[in-house]
Amino acid sequence: MRNWDWKGRMRTGKSTTADLLVSQSPIPLKHINVGELVKERHLHEKYDEDWQSYIVDEDKVLDELEPCVADGGVVLDWHTCDIFPERWIDLVIVLRCDHTCLWDRLEKRGYSLKKIQENNESEIMRVVLDEAREAYNPDIVIELQSETTGDLESNVNRIISWMEAWMRNNSDQ
């Protein structure tokens, strides 16, 4: 088993889903929150006050992650699609959220109006989903709704079922 990449705009439940998957997985998995890694290991050029986010140094991120993903079993939790090499990824999960629900979540977190609007426009226009399908084989890109606790539980169960099928079909690798 190799690695999974969690895509979706911010605040769709990526980290919560990843944590639950790791705790319920039939095999040992490691969850790497790439955004946290960027902050902790200073894998950025600077902080952009307007966007309330770091300008990520992608080369540093890839160099840091390469040894972590080499043996597989890693859940990569981040909101961008085009950074990770295809050879690292077996499944891409794009978590989706209704834009009004997303707006409320971002407001509660104190995000700037500019950042809330950008995230909502991206969600409405399916930017992350389209980027994932362009960057990876569309057969490994799965879109899941992530708005309720029920969605969360259902999504984790679906992913675990996919993992079990993948392991049966790839037992010789």
Residue 128 vs residues 13, 81, 110, 131, 173: alpha-carbon distances, Å: 15, 7, 23, 5, 30
13 known ligand binder: yes
15 known ligand binder: yes
Residues 6+ positions from 71 with CB-CB distance below 8 Å: none
109 known ligand binder: yes
Among 6, 25, 22, 10, which residue's Cα sits nearest to residue 92? 6
The sign of the torsion formed by the CA atoms of 85, 91, 143, 15 equals negative
Binding-site positions read 13-16, 109
Binding-site positions for ATP read 13-16, 109
